[in-house]
Amino acid sequence: MKKVVAVTAFVFLVLVGYFLSQRHSQRSSPEVEILTQSGERVSFQVELAKTPEERAKGLMFRQYLPSNQGMLFIFDQEKRHWFWMKNTLISLDMIFINQEQRVVGIVHQAQPEKTNPLGGWKSKYILEINGGLAEKYGIKEGDKIKFKNLSLN
């Protein structure tokens, strides 16, 4: 009898662990949604760059970035941020976002491998996406940003 109870308890724990892990793996990826002034909604699944090390590496050495993906750089405070393209192999649009979650500036089609400083808008977040997409989707200064499935703390 004790053996049956022990086996049943073990199977129960294994099943609970399995279902919890499945639930965790089905959580949605972090996403940035942009509501353009023309009323369009554009969404990008994003990787997060929160730590100094993650922000320093960014999208360096990537040879490809899917068109529905990007990287969101998250800073502790709003201030003027400058980026460069050293060791970055693909052209990028850099969308600078303030703490009120509005687009305050865009670097269009930053050229790979360049080391000149880009940006400088007072921002708390920077979204990097494939070069040319900001123009393609009509993303402009003043557009509203919504963060989904993402804790900013």
The pLDDT tens digits for 101-114 are 999 999 999 999 99
29-148: CATH homologous superfamily? Protein of unknown function DUF192 (2.60.120.1140)
Is residue 69 a contact partner of residue 107, using CB atoms and an 8 Å limit? no
Q: Say what the pTM is.
A: 0.82
Q: What is the pLDDT of residues 119-134, one digit of tens each?
A: 999 999 999 999 999 9
Give the C-alpha separation, 48 to 58, whole Å.
9
Distance CA 151, CA 149 (A): 7
Does residue 21 carry a pLDDT above 90?
no
- Domain residue ranges in the chain: 29-148
